[in-house]
Each structure stands twice: as C-alpha cells, then as structure tokens.
Amino acid sequence: MTGYSTEGFARDEHMVDGVRSVVYSAGKGPSVVFFHGGGTFHGFEWARDWLDRFHVILPYHPGFGESADDPDIGSVADYVMHYTALFAALGLTRFGLSGASLGGRLATEFALTHRAMVNRLVLAAPAGLLAPECPPPDWASIRPEDVPKLLVADPAVIARWWPADADAAFMAERARERVSTGRVLADMEAADRKMRRRLPRLGVPTLVLWGGKDHILLPGLARHWGQAIPGSTVTMIDEAGHLLLDESPRARKLAADFLERG
C-alpha cells in the first residue's frame, strides 16, 4: 500500500557487502543525495521540485523501504560505511547532501567522516542532539493510529500516505523500520555528547531547517544545532511539522537554493 508515485524516477539495485540496496534517482545537474528518516511510507515525491536543478539520488537505507535488511548494521557508523561503499559503486566523489530526522543524523556523520566529498549540507530536523527543554515523545504511550498527527502540521498532508484503514502489511513495514531506527538510535545521551564534541569541526556549509510545529523533535532543538555548527544557518518554517520537506514548498526551495550555491 503506497500513496506516492515513483513515476519518472529510475530504480537501481546495488549489492553492498551482500545486501541489496535500492536507489531511486532522477533529474539533471549537480548531484544531490537525500537520506530519508525513520519511515519511508511517504516516499519522496517532494523531490520532484528539485529535478530541474539537480540529479537527485534517493537511496533506501538497509532495513528500510525496498532495501534488504542487514543484521550487521547496528550503529550510525555502520551506515556511514555502507554509504561509503555505495557511493563508490555509484561513482560519486563530490555532491550536495541532505537528510531528514534520522537521515539528518546519518548525513551529519557522513559529512564529518568524509568532509571532502560533501560540498553543502542541508539538515531537516535532524536527530542526534538532546535538550532538557525539548523532551522526545513517549512512544510507549502513543497508539500507532495516532502517529500521523505528530508528523505534520496539516493532517490532510499525510492522509494519502498513512490511510485510516492501513492494512497489516503496511503496519508490519512500519514496525520493521521502527526496529531498524531503534538499533542505531539506542543511546541518544552518548550520541549527544559525541556530536557536540565533533560538530564544531564539521567544516561544511550547513543549512538547518526546522518545522515550527514539529512534535517529534521539538523546534527548540534547532538552536542547539545552530550553536554547535560554526557558520551554519538555521531557518524555522513556522507552518510545518516534522515531515518538513514533504509539507513545505518553502522548505524545499530554501534547501535547493542553498545546495545550488555549492
């Protein structure tokens, strides 16, 4: 069950360390890679706004979407190693990089590890930092059917992606991706300490975007990212929620304009 279309996107499969990795791509121009967050149910139709400016590359992480599971991936560093090999297979040596939520964390770690490969970095409500004034949701008390309303400011945006009558296969895929996310975001306190120590050395022009109505990673976290990354630009999109690029044309344009300056 999907409410999104991949029409016009090329679909390729690559074997990385024996694991099937699915990559969609479309558009012409400088290469831009996007790392999705902890759920793939909403697809990447928003990326159509970028196709007249970039060659957009949209991989599914192992354990998510159409890519196979990789039981040996248990950390963000493991994902960085996976993408190091995948990008070598794709012939990518220098590109713009963007990521949302979990994907923002992965994009940050990739840029920290491979600074010379990333010309510009866009982070849309990235995971990875904590703040006492911005507690995360209590997922144990949230019913699956209530998750969609936490992800967007306008519930109508998500209705076609997460239907009210979601079937068992749809929910099983959500559970699979939730497990994959949990495996790499298990110790957030340790991640916060390490990120705050390393972010001042990022050395990549960075734009941080945040939805003013984000209920997953609260908007106050944007300030912490801006303070941790020297020279970064932080922009709040007041009208949007956590699925920032899906929900906000303004966010998509700001991100594209920033990436194009690379």
pLDDT at 99 over 60: yes
Residue 2 pLDDT level (bands cut at 50, 70, 90): low
Q: Give the range among 6-10, 94-98, 155-159, 203-207 with minimum mean pLDDT.
A: 155-159
Which residue is it, tokens 């510009």?
120
Task: Report helix, strand or coil for 187.
Answer: coil
Length of the chain: 262
Mean pLDDT of the chain: 95
The domains of the chain, with CATH numbers, are 10-260 (3.40.50.1820)
- Among 180, 185, 191, CA closest to 71: 180
Q: What string of DSSP letters covers 212-228?
A: TT-SSS-TTHHHHHHHH
Per-residue tokens: 245:
């690029």
Instruction: With beta carbons less than 8 A apart as the criterion, state whether 35 and 103 touch.
Output: yes
- 63 class by beta-carbon count within 10 Å (0-12 exposed, 13-18 middle, 19+ buried): buried
Q: What string of DSSP letters covers 48-64?
A: GGGTTT-EEEEEPPTTS
